Amino acid sequence: MEIKAIILAAGKGTRMQSETPKVLHKIMDKTLLGYVLDNVKNWVTESFVIVGHHAEEVEKFVKDNYRTAKTVLQSPQLGTGHAVSMVCPFLENYRGQVIILCGDTPLITEKTLKNFVEYHNSNKSDLTVMSTIFENPTNYGRIIRDTDNSLKCIVEEKDAAPEQRAVKEVNAGIYCLNWGKIKDAFSQLSSNNAQNEYYLTDIIEWGKAQKLNVNAYILKNNEEIYGINSRINLAEAAKMMNNRKLNELMTNGVTIVDPECTWISEDTEIGQDTIIYPSTYIEGKNTIGRNCKIGPFAHLRGGVELADNVKIGNFVEVKKSKISSNTNAGHLSYIGDSEVGAHVNIGAGTITANYNPITKVKSKTVLKDNVKIGSNAVLVAPVTVEEGANVGAGGVITKDIKARALAITRAPLKIVENWIKQ
């Protein structure tokens, strides 16, 4: 059955204390909303992102990065049920499924979402809500079950009676709907509650009243629905995400020398027997081969492809570059917008000057196989150093270098004797 997604991203995020919309705050240089959209982009046919606060910024982010997603404005913002109702005109004749998510829950995984939809289908549900268990359920809506343990309703904390607040099963904020059967609920919701808002949670009671098959799927790992409401939450979520990634890598044969001070993005793939040394920070989407050595104090900024047996040493920064096997960049270098061959040695202090601040154009540096770059060299892009060529220490390279040539731009050494008088 066809499935579409609705992502709630209209909130102001007051506790973030920021001019940036909450869903555009980042973990490992990727937005919170980006994590959610990436989890559905490969298996839903279309995503609707509900925008409100700083709508133009969120709209631009979605338009620039997600071809199958569109934004829908919620103004004024009258609650989560009202937010979903904004999409109803776009789905008037749609009869497939809809999955509803929150744009500030970056820890949810694609696997969990697919398992959730599978549960919905296998139970022949019309409406399924995701729930989880918290020992301290403060701030979450409570899952209220009937005496036969079936789902009865969801009660928001501000509307909950004391015995309901004691319930530890909470609403995870993710729903799967058979749209054709549920869509009428959004024109029949009431705002008779403590917030005077139209709650999305009220569709549970509506579905029960319509004799529809309503179920709750209990998520075992409650970390996945951790929501971001403050900078403190943002930092905590980043730690959770990083620990999850490091544990996955170590389980699959990557050595992380010190997990306490190593950061690696979820979108980075690393081959077996690679060693990641302390204080390394790897953000964005990257592919690292087998038997590589990265760090200490290395920084990979995204768009990096390292083949097998590559060494990226201390205080080396790499961005948007492809580096072939058995190449070393050992110390204090910057490699950006580059294509580097195999068996290349990049001396300490070398940089690729890839950005022209006047034209604002970034250009490419190409180093072919077996190139040797001396220390403190500057490679001014666009430039190509052909196979086997050497660049002398301190060289400023502004022209292409032919194969097996030596390029030297260093001024002759001049020694003035008796400079210091005794």
User: DSSP state, 186?
Assistant: G
- Is the pLDDT reported for residue 422 higher than 80? no
- CA distance readout (Å), 230 to 170, 351, 360: 20, 38, 35
- Is the pLDDT reported for residue 318 higher than 90? yes
27 in Cβ contact with 284 (< 8 Å): no
Confidence of residue 195 (pLDDT cuts 50, 70, 90): confident
- CA distance readout (Å), 190 to 194, 197, 199, 343: 12, 8, 8, 68
- Is the pLDDT reported for residue 253 higher than 90? yes
Ramachandran sector of residue 380 (left: φ over 0; alpha: ψ -120 to 50; beta: rest): beta
φ/ψ (deg, to 5) at 204: -65, -55
The per-residue pLDDT for range 35-80, each reduced to its tens digit, is: 999 999 999 999 999 999 999 999 999 999 999 999 999 999 999 9
Query: Domain segments of the chain: what residues?
Result: 3-225, 231-407
Q: List the beta bridge partners of residue 178.
A: 97
Active-site residue, from 54, 82, 299, 331:
331
Query: How far is 121 from 106, CA to CA, in rounded Å?
Result: 25
The per-residue pLDDT for range 88-101, each reduced to its tens digit, is: 999 999 999 999 99
Query: How far is 75 from 362, CA to CA, in rounded Å?
Result: 40
Cα atoms found within 13 Å of the Cα of residue 401, Cβ hemisphere only? 29
**pLDDT, average across residues 387-407:** 97
Annotated catalytic residue 331: yes
The per-residue pLDDT for range 228-251, each reduced to its tens digit, is: 999 999 999 999 999 999 999 999
Q: List the beta bridge partners of residue 390.
A: 372, 406
* Sign of the alpha-carbon torsion through 12, 17, 20, 26: negative
**pLDDT, average across residues 93-117:** 97
pLDDT of residue 55: 96
Confidence of residue 292 (pLDDT cuts 50, 70, 90): very high
Alpha helices in 103-230 (DSSP H): 110-122, 162-165, 179-182, 203-209
> Which SS3 state, helix, strand or coil, does residue 115 take?
helix
234 in Cβ contact with 251 (< 8 Å): no
* Model confidence pTM above 0.75: yes
Residues shown for the chain: 422
CATH 3.90.550.10 fits 3-225, yes or no: yes
What CATH code is assigned to 231-407?
Answer: 2.160.10.10
Transcribe 62-121 into DSSP letters. HHHH-TTEEEEE--S---HHHHHHTTGGGGTT--SEEEEEETT-TT--HHHHHHHHHHHH
Cα atoms found within 13 Å of the Cα of residue 28, Cβ hemisphere only? 30
Neighbours of 147 (CB within 10 A): 6
Neighbours of 165 (CB within 10 A): 12
The per-residue pLDDT for range 350-381, each reduced to its tens digit, is: 999 999 999 999 999 999 999 999 999 999 99
pLDDT of residue 313: 98
pLDDT of residue 304: 98
Query: How far is 257 from 143, CA to CA, in rounded Å?
Result: 43
pLDDT of residue 404: 98
Mean pLDDT computed over every residue of the chain? 96
pLDDT of residue 139: 86
Q: Which two tokens stand for residue 30?
A: 């990727």
The per-residue pLDDT for range 124-157, each reduced to its tens digit, is: 999 999 999 999 998 899 999 988 888 999 998 9
